[in-house]
Amino acid sequence: MTPIDVSIVIPTRNRVQSLARLLRSLDLMEIPDALRTEALFADNGSTDETGRFLLEEQKKPRKFLLRVLQEMRRGKANAVNRCLQESEGKIISIIDDDVVVHPQWLVRHLECYDLAAFDALQGRILPGVDPEGRPADLERLYQYNIPLVDYGNQIREIKGLLATNISLKREVFEKAGFYNPSLGAGASGFGEDTEYSARIRKAGFKIGYTPHAVVYHELDPGRYGRAYNRRIHYLKGFSRSLSRRDSIPFRVVPNLLASCIRYGLYRTSGQGEKAYKTEGRIMRYWGYLIGKAGSCLRRDSGQSD
């Protein structure tokens, strides 16, 4: 059997309509005739029509092999890990289930490995459209609360990955290992990519950014606004508390207090965007403190037992 060249990993849960849009874009992407490609979808316990939809799509002829996996252990990291375990490609790409890919997305990822000495790559993430097909209003882009990555138009080295649009060589996965299942969506909420990126760098690999491998993140009205912004930043701080040891008296608390002052100034001076982003920072520092406090309480409780 001909070896697989590229494995595309897609963890998913309860986003059947988003999956339909993603699959349409994958069907339109450029795949060289000689490039053996597989797309692995890990259904992470969906309760909508995701499972049935994927099984029906698996029957259709495609330029790539579509594989459907079931991962009942809750959490995006578990779903990604299941795909990594089953993948066969020399290059592994990981994307979210709520993006669509540019037709040249895959070939641009592969091209960058020939152009630069990187072992893992972050692609560009741009705003897409909402369920009604309406594009983003660039004046209020920050209010959509979607992950965006745009580090400019040049290929360059970076420190971290956001697995909404990444790729890596198989040897990176073989040395860095699996994602931490205690982090990320369905577990702590966030932090799995930051922790995994640190392990990649510690293993001696270089991470790069390519602006040419583009995905478009859908706009979800359920994410819009301050309430969601506060919640996700709280979870980011909480998740960070599980894997990092920032100085509370010399870094976290001073930054929290400074952010509170800035927030008040921005609100009173009518600087809405700055106030919005600063409110997120406040919640991130607060989430970190709550996470660390919880860890201390659990540790003390364990010691008293």
Residues 171 and 41 both lie in one domain? yes
Task: Please give the Cα distance from 177 to 205 (Å, whole number).
Answer: 13
How many domains, in total, are found in the chain? Answer: 2
Q: Is residue 1 part of a domain?
A: no
Q: Over its length of 305 residues, how does the chain's per-residue pLDDT go in tens digits?
A: 679 999 999 999 999 999 999 999 999 999 999 999 999 999 999 999 999 999 999 999 999 999 999 999 999 999 999 999 999 999 999 999 999 999 999 999 999 999 999 999 999 999 999 999 999 999 999 999 999 999 999 999 999 999 999 999 999 999 999 999 999 999 888 899 999 999 999 999 999 999 999 999 999 999 999 999 999 999 999 999 998 899 999 999 999 999 999 999 999 999 999 999 999 999 999 999 999 998 887 777 765 43
Task: Note the pLDDT of residue 1.
Answer: 62
Is 211 within 8 Å of 132 (Cβ atoms)?
no
Q: Quote the pTM value.
A: 0.92
Residues 199 and 237 both lie in one domain? no
Residues 98 and 184 both lie in one domain? yes
Task: Please give the Cα distance from 250 to 253 (Å, whole number).
Answer: 7
Task: Note the pLDDT of residue 251.
Answer: 96
Residues 239 and 210 both lie in one domain? no
Task: Note the pLDDT of residue 304.
Answer: 42
Would you report the helix, strand and coil content of the chain in percent, each value rounded to 5?
Answer: 45, 20, 35
Residues 189 and 141 both lie in one domain? yes
Task: Note the pLDDT of residue 297.
Answer: 78
Q: Is residue 169 part of a domain?
A: yes
Residue 252's domain comprises: 226-304
Residues 271 and 297 both lie in one domain? yes
Q: Is residue 263 part of a domain?
A: yes
Is 23 within 8 Å of 16 (Cβ atoms)?
no
Is 41 within 8 Å of 67 (Cβ atoms)?
yes
Task: Note the pLDDT of residue 298.
Answer: 76
